[in-house]
Homo-oligomer: A and B are copies of this chain.
Amino acid sequence: MMTNLSAYNNSWFKSKIGASTLKQLVWYFTNVLFFMNPLNPVSGLKVALLKLFGAKIGKGVIIKPGVNIKYPWKLNIGSHCWIGENVWIDNLEWVTIGSHVCISQGAMLLTGNHNYKKSTFDLMIAPIILDDGVWIGAKTVVCPGVTAGEHAVLTVGAVATKNMDAYGIYQGNPAVWMKKRLIG
């Protein structure tokens, strides 16, 4: 059989977005003007805006310039986390980040997928969970549904397609377990 994108139907998702069309529209331009736009480098203003749009964010969170966030009302960040320059949180579904988590520059968190086994190419979404102390390296991609156990590390440019064990260091595309992270 063949793909038929004209038969694509994601109306079920629209009721699950969790925000009115107006709220989505206002957030879209807020994201463009204050987050993606590097002319605003002030982290505190961004944290306040995220909270205003429904994100739950702890203390001491730093958000660098150029960040792109899809739906702040589906974002949970603990305390003392860093969201690096040009990080892209494409959270159609919940992204839950613990405390002391570092997401380095250019990383992408991806929660949307398509069912390529269906001719209607149905949208599929799955949450991402990053436990305390996780480090998502620069220019990496975390795929939909991935849970990274506490203090897991995804090294530069790696693509995480599966869950990551606590204190595991993962490298490559697709990412594989390399060694144990020992701290202190």
Residues of chain B contacted by A159 (CB below 8 angstroms)? 139, 156-157
- Work out how many copies of this chain go into the complex: 3
Q: Which residues of A contact B (CB under 8 A)?
A: 1-6, 28-29, 32, 36, 38-39, 41, 60, 79-82, 88, 90, 100-102, 105-106, 108, 110, 114, 116-119, 121, 132-133, 135, 138-139, 141, 143, 150-151, 153, 155-159, 161, 169, 171-174, 181-184
Residues of chain B contacted by A60 (CB below 8 angstroms)? 5-6
- B183 contacts A1, CB within 8 Å? yes
Among residues of B, the one whose C-beta sits closest to the C-beta of A169 is B116
Most chain B CB inside 10 Å of its own CB: which residue of A82, A117, A118, A138: A138
Q: How far is the CA of A182 from the CA of B41 in the complex (A)?
A: 46
